[in-house]
Every structure is written in C-alpha cells, then in structure tokens.
Amino acid sequence: MIDYDKVIPQKIRDIQPSGIRKFFDIAQHVDGVISLSVGEPDFKTPWAARKEAINILEKGKTAYTANSGLIALRRAVSGYLKDFIHTEYDPESEIIVTVGGSEAIDLAIRAMITEGDEVLVPEPSFVCYSPITTAVGGKAVPIVTKEEDKFRLTARALKESITPRTKLLILPYPNNPTGAVMRRGDLEEIAEVLRGTDIMIASDEIYAEMTYNGEKHVSIAELDGMRERTLVISGFSKAYAMTGWRLGYVAGPVPIIKQMLKLHQYCIMSSPTVSQYAAVSAIEKCGGDVRHMVEEYDMRRRLVVNGFNEMGLSCFEPEGAFYVFPCIKSTGMTSEEFCEKLIYEKKVAVVPGSAFGKSGEGYVRVSYAYSVSHLTTALGRIREFLEEHKN
C-alpha cells in the first residue's frame, strides 16, 4: 500500500479547497435554489466571436498555435491595451496568450516566487493568489482592506506590510468580491510607495471593462515608472462573456515574460486555438456588445445596492466587476451562518465573504450577473429572511 501522506508534501496537503467550492456543494443539494452566486456573465458570448469559432472549425484550423499565441491575437491585444490603458506592448515579445487570466496569475507567481519570498495579497480578494504562492514555497501576506476605505488598498497599509522579503504585490482591482476599484489618485499613492524598490506588481484587471460611475478604468502600468514592474493580467471571460473558452493574457516587461513563456511552453504548449481565433473577432468586432453588457450591469448594480440598503443591510457602493458586498453584521450571524440559513430557509444562494479571506467575515458576496426579474425575486426573498430573523 502506498502511503499517500508521504507522497504528498505537507504544504500541498495544507492548501484548503476554495470556500466558494464548499458552498457550491451545499447549494447543489437543495432543490429549487435561485442563485446569486455565479461569478460569470449571464450573457452569451457575442455572436461575432461564436461565428468566427464555427468558421475556424469548418476550415479545420485546429493545430497548435505559436507558444505565446496567434500573432494576430497578440497584435489585437496590443492594440486594445494601447487604447484602453494607454500603454504599449510589443506583440512579439511582451504578450502571452494564456488559458484564462488564472494561468497568467499562476505563471507570474511561479516565474518570480521562490522559497521564503513574500507576496502581498489585498483581501478580501479572489481565492487563487495565496494557494499558488504557498505551493511554490512563498509566503502569502494578506493586507486587510476595509469598508471605510471603500475596500481600496491604501499606501499606509501597503507600507506596513513591506519587508525585505517582499517580492510581489497582487493588485486585484476591480475587485472580486467587493466590487472596489482603484482610481488614478489611489494608484498614484501606491506607485509612490513602490518607486525605487524591486517589488513587482501582478495587476489582475480581468474586470476592468466593468468600471462604473463615469470614470474609466486606470491601470497602474500607466503611471510613471510602473510599466517596468507591472504584469497586466486580463482576459476574455468577463468582458466578452467567454468564461468557458478559457482565454486570457498577460502583458509585461520582456525579462519576466520570457521566463513565464518557458513555463507556459512546458505546461500548456499553446492556448486553445479555436478560442484564440474567436478572441480576435471579439476584440475587433464586439466592442459594442461589451458596452451594452456593461450598461446592463450598471442598471442592475444600482438596483441591487439600493435593494440591500433599503432592507437594512448596509451596502458599500461597488464601482466595478459585477458583485455587491453587503455587510451582514447587523444580523448577528457569521457570514457562513447567514448563507446556510438563507439557502435552507429561502433557497437563495450567496457566497460567504469569509471565502475570500478572513477580512471578508461579516459580509456576503452577491452577484448581479442575472436578469432583473431574477434579481428582484431574490431580493424579495432576502427581505423576508431578514424580517423573520429580526430580534
């Protein structure tokens, strides 16, 4: 008999399964659940992208592409980034097309982090940064962000967390699960702290297109002296409603991209070919679809934020992504209790904030990637739930 405990290193065994996943298992066993827990668009991939995929399949163009991706796609991404974040990247040497933004995050951490290195992770945030860091022997250092700071990373909190071992800062904005964004002024303060250090930034901008309240998304790469230390990570899943196509990208300085490309080459070869062709069409033809989807999200965002505030759960106004993060402390329940009771009693699924780091305790993540009628029904049930639990 193999002793698997000896086969599997302790640091891997210690990694906890995603708290989001755990909640999925509960939701699955309750009949008739209406969900507000999904982290992906309710829209279908725009037709122009789907049509291009069909066309490519008909032509049988299904071989591997270049390791770093179709040059046509890298050029399209380069053009897009130039327009969107006013930063130029050489399609030949500074862009890799990856299997979702997730692979880009994995590559970034593995390319830079070794035993003992510290990675700063603002929390609450998406669940993957710390486990990947731990897996390569690094140390994930959470930086707690607070509601009173609109869940933004502050220069002060950053400064307090930097040590001589700090190598990488994750900048996950617009943020999942809080919906927080970093405006230009906020980023300037962060940039000021980092100037003159060797600390790199992995800027996870997968939700960048979903930035509301007028001002457009700003990437830290745009700021003076930041391009050389920043990996811009994004993809097609959220903006173009292409989650299942598994396609993202990373753009950054040559010395880092070169190392990441080796890892990508050995573990992935090249990203899915059909998806890559579809993505070229997405960038070239689907800008209008993206704007339409973002307008829809924005209307729902207002409706849901207002709904929570009206029922007495204070809800900070998110300005990005498609989540709201209401505070449930007034109910006296922990976020897990709240979510479990809500699902069993009212059959509405939301995700406990604690799944996104300890600092998410006292909050729940609610996705508004649903139709308006679905949202109003679900909000009605949550209102009933709160009334029944008033003490």
Partner 1 sequence: MDAINQKKLLDVLRQDARLSNAEIAVMLGSDESEVAKAIEELEENGIIMGYSAIINEEKADENGVTAIIELKITPVKDCGFDDLAHTIMEYEEVDSVFLLSGANDLSVTISGTSLRNVALFVSERLAVLDGVLSTTTHFILRRYKEKGHIFSEDSFDDRGLVSP
33 is a contact residue toward partner 1 (CB under 8 A) = yes
Map the footprint of partner 1 across residues 148-187, applying CB under 8 A.
Answer: 176
Sign of the torsion angle spanned by Cα atoms 378, 381, 385, 387: positive
**CB of residue 44 vs partner 1: minimum separation in angstroms?**
9
Choose the binding region for partner 1 from 85-93, 162-170, 217-225, 365-373 (rule: CB under 8 A). Answer: 365-373
3-state secondary structure 262-313: HHHHHHCCCCCHHHHHHHHHHHHHCHHHHHHHHHHHHHHHHHHHHHHHHCCC
Residue 309: what are its φ and ψ, rounded to 5°?
Answer: -60, -40
Choose the binding region for partner 1 from 38-46, 76-84, 162-170, 252-260 (rule: CB under 8 A). Answer: 38-46
141 near 168, Cβ under 8 Å?
no
Q: How far is residue 202 from each of residues 133, 145, 214, 221, 311, measured CA to CA in Å?
A: 13, 17, 25, 10, 38
Angle between helices 254-267 and 100-112 (to 10 degrees): 110
**CB of residue 165 vs partner 1: minimum separation in angstroms?**
29
**CB of residue 161 vs partner 1: minimum separation in angstroms?**
25
**Pattern of binders to partner 1 over 308-347, x per CB under 8 A?**
----------------------------------------
Contacts of 230 (CB under 8 A, 6+ apart): 200, 201, 203, 219, 220, 221, 252
Cβ closest to partner 1, residue 26 vs residue 157: 26
Binding test (CB under 8 A) with partner 1, winner from 27, 48, 71, 274 = 27
Q: Which residues pair with 201 in a beta bridge?
A: 169, 230
Binding test (CB under 8 A) with partner 1, winner from 76, 208, 242, 351 = 351
Six-digit token pair at 206? 């997968």
Binding test (CB under 8 A) with partner 1, winner from 92, 295, 387, 388 = 295
Q: What angle do CA 252, 257, 259 make, to 5 degrees?
A: 155
Rounded CA gap, 56 and 50, in Å?
A: 10
Cβ closest to partner 1, residue 152 vs residue 300: 300
119 is a contact residue toward partner 1 (CB under 8 A) = no
Choose the binding region for partner 1 from 2-10, 68-76, 86-94, 368-376 (rule: CB under 8 A). Answer: 368-376
Binding test (CB under 8 A) with partner 1, winner from 71, 72, 274, 303 = 303
**CB of residue 77 vs partner 1: minimum separation in angstroms?**
23
Choose the binding region for partner 1 from 27-35, 132-140, 148-156, 164-172 (rule: CB under 8 A). Answer: 27-35
349 near 364, Cβ under 8 Å?
no
165 near 116, Cβ under 8 Å?
yes
DSSP 224: T
Binding test (CB under 8 A) with partner 1, winner from 156, 216, 372, 387 = 372
What amino acid is encoded at 239 in this protein? A
37 is a contact residue toward partner 1 (CB under 8 A) = yes
Cβ closest to partner 1, residue 28 vs residue 314: 28
Choose the binding region for partner 1 from 21-29, 136-144, 160-168, 327-335 (rule: CB under 8 A). Answer: 21-29
**CB of residue 108 vs partner 1: minimum separation in angstroms?**
18
Binding test (CB under 8 A) with partner 1, winner from 110, 264, 300, 346 = 300
Q: Determine if the peptide bond prior to 177 is cis (ω within 30°).
A: yes
**CB of residue 23 vs partner 1: minimum separation in angstroms?**
5
Binding test (CB under 8 A) with partner 1, winner from 146, 156, 159, 302 = 302
Among residues 288, 283, 336, which one has the least CA distance to residue 97?
283
Six-digit token pair at 275? 């998806």
Binding site for partner 1 (CB under 8 A): 18, 20-21, 23-24, 27-28, 33, 35, 37-40, 42, 126-127, 176, 295, 299-300, 302-303, 306, 349, 351, 371-373, 376
